[in-house]
Structures are given as C-alpha cells and as structure tokens.
Amino acid sequence: MSEIHIPDQTSRLPISVLTGFLGSGKTTLLSKLLRDPDMANTAVVINEFGDVGLDHMLVESSDENTVLMDSGCLCCTIRGDLVDTLRDLFRKRVTGDVPEFDRLVIETTGLADPAPILHTLMSDPLLCARYRLDGVLTTVDGVLGLQQLDTQFEPTKQAAVADRILITKADMVDEATIDALRDRLRILNPAAPVHVVSKGNIAARHVLNVGLFDPEEKIPDVEKWLREEAYESDAHTHDHAHDVNRHDAHIRSFCLTADAPFAWEAFANWMDALIAVHGESLLRVKGVLHVTDTDQPVVVHGVQHIFHPPAVLEAWRNEDRRSRIVMITRDLNREPVEKMFHAFINAEA
C-alpha cells in the first residue's frame, strides 16, 4: 500500500465509466445525455468494437480516431491501449488539437468487466495526475435484466460495482417488472441509487459528480460517496445464498467500522494480507479512515488487487470520525474479513 499524501483534485478531470450488458441501452442513453447542457465540453471514449450509434451526431473529423459532435462534445475510439488513448487525448487538449474538455465518459463494451478500466485509472501515474474517477454508471435492461442477472455474471458484477444504476427500457415493461428488478438490484448493491429510464432520457445531474469530489462542495462529501447507512441492515445478506443458479448469490456487500483511530501501517498491512489471499474477490473497496498518523481523514479506494494512492482530505465534515470501509466482494463473507481487520488494527494499538 502507498504512503498517504495530499492530492490536487482541482486540476484533474473527472471520468465517468459507463458500463452495462449487451443491448442494455448504453449508447441510447449516452446519445441523450450528450444533448444535456450539463454535459457540454465532454469527451467520450468508446471501444471501436462496440455499437457506437452516434453517427447522427458527428459533424467534423479531427483525425481518424477523433470526431467533434454537433453537441460540442468530443468522441474518440480506442484503437490501442486505454492508457495511450487517454494520454493522447489529454496531450491534444493541451496543444489545442482538440477542443478543451472538462470531463470524460468511457463507454465499455457490453461484455466488459469494468475492473480493468478502474485498474488503469488507479494505477497509471500519468493518468492519476491528469484524471480522477468520478463514478461507475451501469445500465440494466428493464426487459431482460432479471433473466440476465440469473444467467450471466457480467451484468451482476457491473451492477455490483456501480455508483449509479440505470434501469433502461422502462417504457417497454410494466411497473411490477421494474419493481422486481429494482428490489433485486438493491440486494445486489444497496448503496447505489437506482434510476428508472425511458427511451434513454435522464438528466445529466443524476449521473455526474457522484464521486467523492463534487466541484460544488468545498469539502468532499464522504457520506454521499460511502452511503454506509445502506449497509446498516444485514437483512439483505443473503437470504438467497442457497440458490446456486443466481449469480448475485455470490456477491456480498458490507461496511466495517472502527471507533478508535489506528496506525496507517496497521491498515496497510491488513489490506496487503487481504489482497494476497482474496484479491480477486475484492470487487470494490472504498473507505474513510481515522489514523493516528494525521488528524485529517484519509480516503482509500480499491478494485480487486489495485488500490488508488490514499488521499488526505482537508477536514472532517462532521463530528463522526469513525473509520468506515465499504466492501463489495465475491464469494467472501463478512465475518472472516472483519475478524482479520480488527486483529490487525488492534495488534498495532
């Protein structure tokens, strides 16, 4: 684990990762979002093998990979490594080869595991200096979503790691189906707000600035980012766990807390040990820590075996200074993780 440091958030461009299973309506939703004034000055990165579906919005070609849309937004395709694409796009922004953009949306393919993209954004030093993850947005097919969650693991994982879940095609199904899907998604990911979308229409304000750093907030909103209150009830923890045919029966989500501060080294040692044994099972980890090394809150964020460098925030938002760590796991129960966590932080006390 890295040493704690103070990052410069104001100069880094926010990235939203838009994911969702095949045919779930990502491109339709993106096309509508890009018409929203709040999405002005947005760059869009799409996989060239995906269904782009934005041709009607393209008015000018900057080069073979980049186009300027009539909405004023920029769109480019991934023809190589994501790191190279994002570095090149930022370089063109600096040199004026493309219009200056204020945020970025990455649309994944329908079969994509979002984890590698999150790994890239967390681990590449140059990207970390230029971009920051705002949030993961996941579309879930309102017509086929329940069936897909039963039969495919990709949409289950996409929904499990989401910061916002968007149920699409609501105009094509009845309310009972939407309610059943919404209930299922809340079991899978209790902290992610669920929005119901018809014909791709949703206001951009519902999907932007959903991460820790909101430009309108003087102090990062840890409570909004963690939403640990969603994990307070263990009623969702797996009354369906016996059903081996349900992929979300393998997903666990819980929040660990510690009332007293502990040494950063204790947390780092615990996380290193947990990653060594269960790295692939840690779908997403995010938390705010009260450590003895500083009076300021320390924020951590990881996906599987990759962790973003920890950040020290300017101040606590309120009097609640408990350490809180939200964990979304696959085939990893709360009890052994929590026991291991307290063993490490108490050993250093």
| pLDDT, tens only, 6-50 | 455 557 899 999 999 988 999 889 888 988 999 988 888 886 544
Q: Which of 66-70, 84-88, 133-137 has the lowest mean pLDDT?
A: 66-70
Residue 228 Rama label (left phi>0; alpha psi -120 to 50; beta): alpha
pLDDT over 80 (residue 302) = yes
Q: What is the DSSP letter of 347?
A: H
Domain stops at, among 206, 224, 258: 206
List the CATH number of the domain containing 336: 3.30.1220.10
Is residue 66 within a helix (H) or strand (E), and if so which, with residue range? strand 66-69
Q: Average of pLDDT values for 260-267?
A: 96
From residue 90, alpha-carbon distances to 29, 113, 308 in Å are 25, 24, 20
pLDDT over 60 (residue 271) = yes
pLDDT over 60 (residue 155) = yes
- Are 17 and 101 found together in one domain? yes
Structural domain contains residue 272: yes
Residue 29 confidence (pLDDT)? 92
Residue 214 confidence (pLDDT)? 76
Q: Please state, in angstroms and rounded to a whole number, the distance separating the CA atoms of residues 301 and 241.
A: 27
- Are 317 and 202 found together in one domain? no
Q: What is the DSSP letter of 205?
A: G
- Are 187 and 266 found together in one domain? no
Residue 235 confidence (pLDDT)? 44
Q: Please state, in angstroms and rounded to a whole number, the distance separating the CA atoms of residues 33 and 53.
A: 13
For 36-68, give one letter per residue: b (16+ CB within 10 A) or e: beebeebbbbbbeebebebeebeeeeeeebbbb
Residue 345 near residue 282, CB atoms below 8 Å: no
Structural domain contains residue 223: no
Structural domain contains residue 42: yes
pLDDT over 60 (residue 71) = no
Structural domain contains residue 217: no
Parent domain of 309: 237-347
Structural domain contains residue 221: no
Side-chain-side CA neighbours of 93 within 13 Å: the count stands at 21
Domain stops at, among 206, 229, 245: 206
Residue 174 in 3-state DSSP? coil
Residue 313 near residue 305, CB atoms below 8 Å: no
- Are 69 and 191 found together in one domain? yes
Structural domain contains residue 214: no
- Are 257 and 128 found together in one domain? no
- Are 43 and 107 found together in one domain? yes
Query: What confidence category does residue 264 fall into, taking pLDDT thresholds of 50, 70 and 90?
Result: very high
Reading the block at residue 68, the tokens are 């300027």
Average confidence score pLDDT of the chain: 85
- Are 168 and 259 found together in one domain? no
The contacts of residue 41 (CB under 8 Å, 6+ apart) are 72, 73, 99, 100, 101, 102, 103
What's this model's pTM, rounded to 2 decimal places?
0.87
Beta bridge pairs of residue 17: 106, 136
Residue 83 confidence (pLDDT)? 86
Q: Please state, in angstroms and rounded to a whole number, the distance separating the CA atoms of residues 100 and 83.
A: 19
- Are 44 and 174 found together in one domain? yes
List the CATH number of the domain containing 184: 3.40.50.300
Q: 115-123 and 82-95 are packed helices; what angle lies between their axes, rounded to 10 degrees?
A: 50
Structural domain contains residue 1: no
Q: Please state, in angstroms and rounded to a whole number, the distance separating the CA atoms of residues 85 and 46.
A: 10
- Are 153 and 32 found together in one domain? yes
Q: Average of pLDDT values for 255-259?
A: 96
Structural domain contains residue 219: no
- Are 245 and 154 found together in one domain? no
Residue 64 confidence (pLDDT)? 53
Domain stops at, among 153, 188, 206: 206
Task: Count how many domains the chain has.
Answer: 2
pLDDT above 90 as % of the chain: 54
CA angle, residues 301, 11, 88, in degrees to nearest 5: 90
- Are 274 and 143 found together in one domain? no
pLDDT over 80 (residue 161) = yes
- Are 249 and 148 found together in one domain? no
